[in-house]
Structure 1
Amino acid sequence: MGWFTTKDPLQIIAFQTYGTSRQLYIKGRALEDENIDLSKKNIFHLLINSWKRFETDVIGNAKLVLKLSNGLEYEFETDKEGYFLEKIQVEEHPFTCNEEGWLAYELSFLDTELKREIQLENRFPGEMLVPSATSDFGVISDIDDTILHTGLVSLLKWRVVYNTLFVTPGKRLPLAGAADFYHLLHRGASGKASNPIFYVSNSPWNLYRYLEFFLRNNNFPKGPILLRSLSSFFKRRKVETEESQSHKPREIMNILKNYPEVPFILIGDSGERDADIYMKIAQRFPDRVKAIYLRTVSHKKKMIRVKSLYADYKTVPVLLVADSDQAIAHAREHGFVR
């Protein structure tokens, strides 16, 4: 382990993921703990924390162990960039989730060669959502400019850069009423359901804790946060990698595959490619999509394109919304929420 040049302790970040009663998806990353304090507000700490979020020292090819509450243990390794994605089959030993469908687990380092301080006595908590079979529906939502002011339609994405580097997640503004709308969807028509919410974004995994803090701080329902690799984030559309182009539809398809009996509501914005992706999903699975909500953006050409795209589309209810009140009214009219 001679590549370490600092004395930062080691940690394992477990991303909130999802699974079923028979298959677990465990995803996360092993890396050095850079001691990022997301509550810091002065410019010095903002610059330091911004650098730490992207300049990560990873623990590649590290041996880890997953421990479930039912006593089962699974061993695996991180890849060369410190990431892990394990699909674990559980056949004979049931596990217990909480009333909202969250399964708690624990991760630890196995390597005895790691001559480094390891936080939390080598115990790192994680959670995975196992949606109830009685869910009315699920929600798959974008984050950028859908529930969080981001600036993805701004010139050269300058506002994305500014917001990411110089604004703490505690100061980032959610779109008005979005949290209330999502809680209504989460509780469904009865007001007592636990409908799953999945957050799918083109933001890089380096911002996972940033976005997790933002969602929690602004009282959004907890749900899996599915991001993409950093390498493709700033690339122009014409030269994007296949991975970055397919990230969002691939994640949506995987969710649909895992819960074949659950219909979904798709929520995004009109600024990027949500409109195109959601239409293709709805055309392929018209019986699985209950509605599509697209936030309007302040970009005339993009709005003209999206309106034209859906002009003759009647299969699934589609609503372009300027605010959350419009979406809530539509959802009540169609019996999605109380």
Structure 2
Amino acid sequence: MVFWNRFLKWIGKLEVIQIEPFLAISNGQQVFVKGRVISAYKQSRPKARNNPMKNIFASIRRYAVTSIPEIPILISLGDGQEEVISDQDGVFECLLTSTDDTQVYFSVNEKEEGLKYQDGELSIYHVQYPNGVISDIDDTILISHATQIGKKLWLSISKNAYTRRPFPGVSEFYQKLAIGGRNEVFYVSSSDWSLYDLIRDFLEFRNIPTGPILLKDKHINLKNIWTSGGGSHDHKFEKIRFLFSFFPEMNFILVGDSGQHDPEIYAELKEEFPDRIKSIFIREIKANNFIDTKRDYLQSNLGFYFVKNTNDAIQIAENLALFSS
């Protein structure tokens, strides 16, 4: 264990090491798994009647955790095992050979005396449909005011999964894309992994199709909580490219908004994968110079559709027959 971990243990900030598994998805041949290692914390399930103060305290607990680097993690699937080391943000990932087993198990290898450990397990997500939707989250399905730091921060700490609001019509739109159009739905966001449980519960509560969620790896804590969802969005491009690589037979629909570089990222992806992106929907929530200067090209050559609301997106998708397999 690195010096920093020993220091945390010495000052009483590291008593229980917890593995948080986030992702286990299969393409039929391989299983991609991802998780992180943190100092354990207690978090009760949120309720719709929680007042802002309770939600703020829950956010403090969520962001007060310490990420634990350089922890050897043993990942088990069937008879196979792989050891990986958590990075500086406590994050780990690896590829496993697919088996008939439905669960992946995570444990800390080389446990240190004097510490307690919480191992983890996760059900493998097997894709059902031949094509996919890759969607942003903030200001695409979830009202976030991501371009206004004050509003964004207040929403993120004062609300919970049951009090955050989706844009009207989002559930119907994504249900039609998923079930009618036989599309898997993947979510890729610049939010950090500390918000994983909130996003997962929000999707389930609002009856929006659930699916693999890929978030920003860099650890956010109380000192820089205001930066959550901001900064460079290069990771979003790389995570979408990973999905294209991991599911090479899939074609995709991309859904995003004009607030945080989705149009630029999606345009670059369309140039790289011209035959694998069927259409691109962008919710216009603010002025965007990239869109204003290239709107005709994006619409005519790259298959972009700019919408003001979800009803517009539903109408366009119906005209494109995206709701029928």
Q: Which of the numbers 32, 55, 62 marks the counterpart of 1:53? A: 62
Partner of 2:140: 146
Q: Which of the numbers 80, 84, 103 marks the counterpart of 1:76? A: 84
Partner of 1:28: 35
- Cα deviation, 1:188-217, whole Å, max 9, x if unaligned, reads 44xxx4x22111111122222221221222
Partner of 1:171: 163
Within-5 A mapping of 1:215-254: 215-228=203-216, 229-230=218-219, 240=231, 244-254=232-242
Q: Is this contact kept in 2: 1:38–1:168, CA < 8 A? A: no
**Residue 16 of structure 1: SS of its match in structure 2?**
strand
User: Matches of 2:274 and 2:75 in 1, distance apart?
Assistant: 38
User: Matches of 1:46 and 1:312 in 2, distance apart?
Assistant: 44
**Residue 122 of structure 2: SS of its match in structure 1?**
strand
Partner of 1:201: 189
User: Matches of 1:114 and 1:159 in 2, distance apart?
Assistant: 45
- Cα deviation, 1:5-64, whole Å, max 9, x if unaligned, reads 147543211112534233322111111221122415234432322122222123332222
Partner of 1:66: 75
User: Matches of 2:81 and 2:291 in 1, distance apart?
Assistant: 48
User: Matches of 1:271 and 1:230 in 2, distance apart?
Assistant: 23
CA RMSD of aligned residues (A): 2.7
User: Matches of 1:322 and 1:245 in 2, distance apart?
Assistant: 23
Distance 1:29 1:46, change over 3 A: same
Please state if 1:329 is matched with 2:323. Answer: no
**Residue 208 of structure 1: SS of its match in structure 2?**
helix
Q: Which of the numbers 12, 23, 27 marks the counterpart of 1:16? A: 23
User: Matches of 1:289 and 1:113 in 2, distance apart?
Assistant: 48
Partner of 1:96: 100
Deviation at 1:184, TM superposition (A): 1.4
Please state if 1:309 is matched with 2:294. Answer: yes
User: Matches of 1:72 and 1:184 in 2, distance apart?
Assistant: 38
- Quick one: which amino acid aligns to residue 193 of structure 2? W
- Quick one: which amino acid aligns to residue 211 of structure 2? G
Distance 1:321 1:104, change over 3 A: farther
**Residue 321 of structure 2: SS of its match in structure 1?**
coil
**Residue 301 of structure 2: SS of its match in structure 1?**
coil
Q: Is this contact kept in 2: 1:31–1:59, CA < 8 A? A: yes
User: Matches of 2:238 and 2:110 in 1, distance apart?
Assistant: 33
Partner of 1:100: none
User: Matches of 1:183 and 1:332 in 2, distance apart?
Assistant: 13
Q: What TM-score, normalized to structure 1? A: 0.82
Q: Is this contact kept in 1: 2:147–2:259, CA < 8 A? A: yes
Q: What TM-score, normalized to structure 2? A: 0.85
Distance 1:96 1:175, change over 3 A: farther
* Structure 1: 5+ residue stretches without partners: 98-102
- Quick one: which amino acid aligns to residue 270 of structure 2? A
Q: Is this contact kept in 2: 1:104–1:127, CA < 8 A? A: yes
Distance 1:233 1:225, change over 3 A: farther
Distance 1:14 1:306, change over 3 A: same
* Structure 2: 5+ residue stretches without partners: none
- Quick one: which amino acid aligns to residue 171 of structure 1? T
User: Matches of 1:81 and 1:114 in 2, distance apart?
Assistant: 23
Q: Is this contact kept in 2: 1:204–1:233, CA < 8 A? A: no
Q: Is this contact kept in 2: 1:14–1:126, CA < 8 A? A: yes
**Residue 297 of structure 2: SS of its match in structure 1?**
coil
Deviation at 1:160, TM superposition (A): 0.9
Q: Is this contact kept in 1: 2:52–2:159, CA < 8 A? A: no
Partner of 2:261: 273
Q: Percent identity of the aligned residues?
A: 27
Q: Is this contact kept in 2: 1:8–1:34, CA < 8 A? A: no
Q: Return 12-21 or 198-207, whichever deviates more.
A: 12-21
